[in-house]
Structure formats: structure tokens, C-alpha cells
Amino acid sequence: MNRTDRLYALVEELRAVAPRPRSARWLAGRFEVSVRTVERDISALQQSGVPVYAEPGRTGGYCLDKARTLPPVNLTPDEAVAMAVALQRLEGTPFRTTAASALRKLVAAMQNDDATAARELAGRIHLLTDADREPPVPRMVIDALATRRVLRIGYSDRGGAVTLREVEPLGYVGKEAHWYLVAWCRLRDALRAFRTDRITSVAVTAEVPAPRPLSEDDLDIPYGPIRRLSLD
């Protein structure tokens, strides 16, 4: 069994017995690998966002939070590959890391035969790398809306001059070439849109600012009409 299939099988094994735990030794015997390999696999699952936690004690082990997992997903292999292609297009956006995590969860929740077929199909799809794609967005900027803390950033203008600013993150605006962090700039005492590839440094402060409303008029950015993201 290769590692990808083993990770999927680990999740399914823990889901089947949840909320009861399985020890690392039991899982190692079940999948005919070492305890250290099981521990590395569990760590990889946790880092990808799978809700696995360790329960201490003589009868403890690894548990899966069943309420926070997906049941088997009835996607066809070509639907899964289409979603993988779409998520790959998020490279260079504030959602690059979470897109990769979402894709791993999606594949882990598929029926085993469909997941295998999807991987085989994906192996025949090739994407050209865009050498001019903007660099990845810093992780602390990616988390800005979730943490709601004031950021201290270095920002480079068109001429290359860098200023240090404290900003209150309010939203994102995305277009094909660039992504912008919409924030209240304390240096300018006004709303500003910061191109993420011009953010030269970022630090998260402990301050949580008071909420500020963000209206449609605030998003009147001269790059075309604005369309709000919807999950419906």
C-alpha cells in the first residue's frame, strides 16, 4: 500500500470506530508499518486539517472528530479532477494553502475506487507553470481576515519606496493578475487596497480593532465591476 492510500485508509479506520481511539501500535499492525510511520502519517493528516487528536492514557490513542469529517463524497473522478484544476489556479492567491488542504480532504472523503481513478486521471493532466505569476501571499496576510488583528506591514509603492504601516484588514479583492488586501490604513487614515505582491514584510500585533463596515462604495476600485463571492 502506498502512502496516499494508507493516509486515506487511516482516516477511514478512525472514522469507522469514532469516537473510540486506536493506538499507534494497533494501527501499525493493521497497516504493516512501524509505529514511527504511523505517527508521521497522523502528523501529516493533522497538518492538512483532518481533525485527528491524541487521547492520553493506557487505553488512549488517536481519535477522529466524527462530527467534523465528511461522509463519503459521490463525486465522479472527472468531477474531482475538474475541482483539482480549479484549485490549482489559486496558486499565488491568499487561498493557496487552504486550497491544497481542501483538495486533500476532498480526495480522502471519496469512495476508494473513485479516488484511485481520479488520481490516475489527474496523472494525465499537465499544467504549464506561469513564470510571471506573482509570489505566494505571506501566511500572516492569508490569515488576516480570520485573526482580525492589526497587521504591521512594509509596503512598496510603484516607485519602489517602502513605508511601514499599521492596517486593519477588512477584505480581499481579486483579479486575474493580482490580489489586493482591503484594509484601513492608519498612516493615511483612510481605506486602502494593498497589492499583496508589494507587501515586503508583515507582523501580526496583539490588537483586535473595533469592527468597521465595508460598503459597496468602498469597493469602487477602477479595475472593473466587483462581484461578491458566493457559496450558493
Residue 131 lies in a domain: no
> Chain-wide mean pLDDT for the chain?
82
From residue 171, give the alpha-carbon distance in Å to each of 34, 191, 213. 46, 11, 11
Q: Assess whether 20 and 86 both reside in one domain.
A: no
For the stretch 154-184, pLDDT in tens is 999 989 999 999 999 998 888 767 788 899 9
Residue 129 lies in a domain: no
Mean pLDDT in residue range 212-217 = 76
Q: Assess whether 149 and 96 both reside in one domain.
A: no
Q: Assess whether 215 and 150 both reside in one domain.
A: yes
- The grid cell for 20 is 473510540
| % of the chain at pLDDT higher than 90 | 24
Number of domains in the chain: 3
Residue 97 lies in a domain: yes
| Alpha-helix residue ranges (DSSP H) falling in 96-226 | 96-108, 112-122, 139-142, 144-147
Q: Assess whether 15 and 81 both reside in one domain.
A: no
Return the CATH number at 63.
1.10.10.10
